[in-house]
């Protein structure tokens, strides 16, 4: 069976569909003019940073980089040789002046008129950083207690004359972008016959050349029956419903490792807006998931350690709210966690006095001392009246906690009952 020909206006629509439905922020910069933007995939920038084309085209990329990272990024952008690493971490400032974490990939290229340009790809790592932040906070607490990306070729499936004209003229930038994104990409007609793919996807399913896939079905290329059934069911849903499907997941054996791929499926329409095919992108998120799992495992170990510690542990946030209390602290203060978590540290029913039984001034309360000094204190003794009206003498060690920007973010305290 011959693959059905989709009635799409020109190759630009395929390019734009891909660019508007990938997670990465893509940009092309002019290295001769302060790295000003010449192109962005606007949907991704809007969704992630709230910038549109009017905000960025003609403006320097350096203006939206966090000041701590500008010098390093300039060095990378100016490098004459390939970067040592495939990607680098960077903070970007969004339209509302919020800081956001990304991995940046950089590649130099020359356009048809031999002008030097720079391709950048920004992939959000906010989720990973959030998990790392939780882990780093736990680690701080514990201390107190003790290549070139494969090219993509799109084949002349829709209108060859238009394709050639577009490819070598006004769509050159779109082509450059498509040649440098890491996703596995393919598209099919409404009968799920392949119409094309990129090199990356061809390698994934063991095809020597992308053109060899045209006209074939998955059952000619994929041997795993369970996977075949799942793919067919989901792709048919797109054709029938005309709705986009995002963030579906599938396990795939790539080389010698099991990988997790995130799938986005987008319907393709004819001139009368009838779904006649679909465009599919796979994104390998294996390393991200492995990192998340590793961070969760380490965090769980640290939390268990804190819960079973022989000393009491309390964590208080920058707003003086208690966010953590371990079992030993419950015993010392004779109170249940559920009754104390999310209450104010300095306004609880317990009465805090110095070791001689004298009232403590507000400025000498533990939280205020740590917030002001931004340093640790050791073996501070307090006389506490617990919730059962019992008076106990405690010894407290405490250290400040800081956020990513180095600002005070609360404290952690270890507590021992030293009543004789």
Sequence-distant (≥ 6) Cβ neighbours of residue 104 within 8 angstroms: 73, 76, 87, 88, 89, 90, 120, 121, 122
Whether residue 37 is predicted with pLDDT greater than 90 in this model: the reply is: yes
Q: Going edge to edge, which strands form the sheet with 116-124?
A: 36-40, 25-30, 116-124, 99-110, 88-93
Whether residue 59 is predicted with pLDDT greater than 90 in this model: the reply is: yes
Mean pLDDT over 314-336 rounds to 89
pLDDT band at 87 (very low <50, low <70, confident <90, very high): confident
**Which part of the chain has CATH 3.30.450.20?**
11-287, 308-417
User: How much of the chain, in percent, has pLDDT values that exceed 90?
Assistant: 29
For the ranges 4-13, 31-40, 171-180, 272-281, which has the lowest average pLDDT? 4-13
Which of 3.40.50.300, 3.30.450.20, 1.10.10.60, 3.90.730.10 would CATH assign to domain 308-417? 3.30.450.20
Q: Which residue has the tokens 């701080």?
A: 140
Mean pLDDT over 226-231 rounds to 92
Residue 174 in contact with residue 132, Cβ under 8 Å?
no
Whether residue 30 is predicted with pLDDT greater than 70 in this model: the reply is: yes
For the ranges 79-83, 287-291, 298-302, 370-374, which has the lowest average pLDDT? 79-83
pLDDT band at 80 (very low <50, low <70, confident <90, very high): low
Q: What is the pTM of this model?
A: 0.51
| Top-confidence residue, 87 or 410 | 410
Helices (H), 207-334: 225-241, 286-307, 327-333
Whether residue 289 is predicted with pLDDT greater than 60 in this model: the reply is: yes
Q: Which of 260, 328, 248, 329 is nearest to 289 (CA)?
A: 260
Q: Which two tokens stand for residue 64?
A: 């939206």
The CATH number given to 11-287 is: 3.30.450.20
Sequence-distant (≥ 6) Cβ neighbours of residue 64 within 8 angstroms: 49, 51, 56, 92, 93, 94
- What does the alpha-carbon distance between residue 315 and residue 411 come to, in Å, rounded to a whole number? 6
Which DSSP state fits 357? S
Q: What is the chain's alpha carbon radius of gyration, rounded to the nearest angstrom?
A: 29
Give me the sign of the Cα torsion angle 235, 240, 242, 247.
Answer: negative
Express each pLDDT in 157-176 by its tens digit.
344 454 444 444 444 555 56
- Quick one: which H or E segment has residue 119? strand 116-124
pLDDT mean across residues, the chain: 80
Q: Tell me the DSSP string of 297-317.
A: HHHHHHHHHHHT-SSEEEEEE
Mean pLDDT over 311-321 rounds to 90
Q: How far is CA 179 from CA 111, 175, 199, in A?
A: 13, 6, 10
pLDDT band at 221 (very low <50, low <70, confident <90, very high): very high
Express each pLDDT in 17-27 by its tens digit.
676 667 789 99
- Quick one: which H or E segment has residue 26? strand 25-30
Question: Which of the given ranges, 4-18, 138-152, 272-286, 344-358, has the highest pLDDT on average?
Answer: 272-286
| Top-confidence residue, 403 or 219 | 219
Which DSSP state fits 267? E
């Amino acid at each position: 069976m011959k693959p059905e020909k989709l009635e799409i206006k020109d190759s630009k629509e395929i390019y734009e569909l891909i660019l508007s439905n990938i997670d990465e922020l893509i940009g092309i910069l002019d290295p001769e003019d302060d790295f000003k933007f010449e192109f962005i995939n606007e949907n991704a920038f809007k969704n992630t940073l709230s910038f549109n084309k009017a905000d960025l085209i003609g403006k320097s990329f350096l203006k939206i980089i966090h000041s701590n990272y500008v010098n390093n990024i300039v060095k990378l952008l100016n490098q004459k040789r390939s970067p040592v690493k495939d990607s680098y971490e960077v903070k970007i400032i969004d339209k509302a002046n919020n800081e956001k974490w990304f991995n940046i990939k950089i590649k130099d290229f020359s356009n048809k008129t031999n002008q030097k340009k720079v391709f950048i790809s920004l992939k959000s790592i906010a989720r990973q950083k959030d998990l790392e932040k939780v882990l780093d906070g736990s680690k701080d607490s514990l201390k107190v207690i003790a290549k070139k990306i494969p090219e993509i070729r799109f084949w002349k499936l829709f209108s060859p004359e238009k394709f050639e004209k577009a490819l070598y003229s006004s769509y050159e930038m779109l082509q450059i972008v498509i040649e440098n994104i890491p996703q596995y990409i393919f598209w099919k007609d409404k009968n799920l016959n392949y119409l094309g793919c990129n090199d990356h996807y061809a390698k994934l399913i063991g095809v020597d050349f992308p053109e060899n896939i045209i006209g074939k079905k998955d059952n000619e290329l994929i041997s795993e029956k369970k996977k075949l059934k799942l793919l067919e069911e989901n792709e048919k849903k797109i054709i029938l419903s005309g709705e986009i499907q995002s963030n579906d997941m599938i396990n795939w054996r790539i080389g010698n490792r099991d990988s997790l791929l995130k799938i986005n499926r987008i319907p393709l329409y004819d001139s009368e807006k009838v779904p006649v095919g679909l465009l599919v992108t796979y994104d390998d998120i294996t390393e991200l998931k492995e990192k998340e799992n590793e961070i969760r495992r380490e965090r769980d170990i640290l939390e268990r350690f804190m819960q079973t510690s022989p000393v009491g542990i309390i964590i208080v946030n920058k707003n003086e709210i208690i966010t953590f209390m371990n079992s030993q602290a419950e015993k010392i203060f004779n109170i249940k966690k559920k009754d104390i978590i999310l209450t104010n540290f300095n306004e609880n029913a317990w009465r805090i006095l110095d070791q001689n039984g004298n009232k403590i001034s507000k400025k000498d309360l533990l939280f205020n001392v740590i917030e002001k000094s931004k340093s640790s204190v050791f073996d501070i003794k307090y006389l506490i009246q617990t919730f059962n009206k019992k008076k106990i003498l405690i010894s407290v060690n405490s250290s400040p906690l800081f956020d990513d920007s180095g600002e005070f973010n609360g404290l952690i305290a270890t507590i021992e009952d030293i009543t004789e």
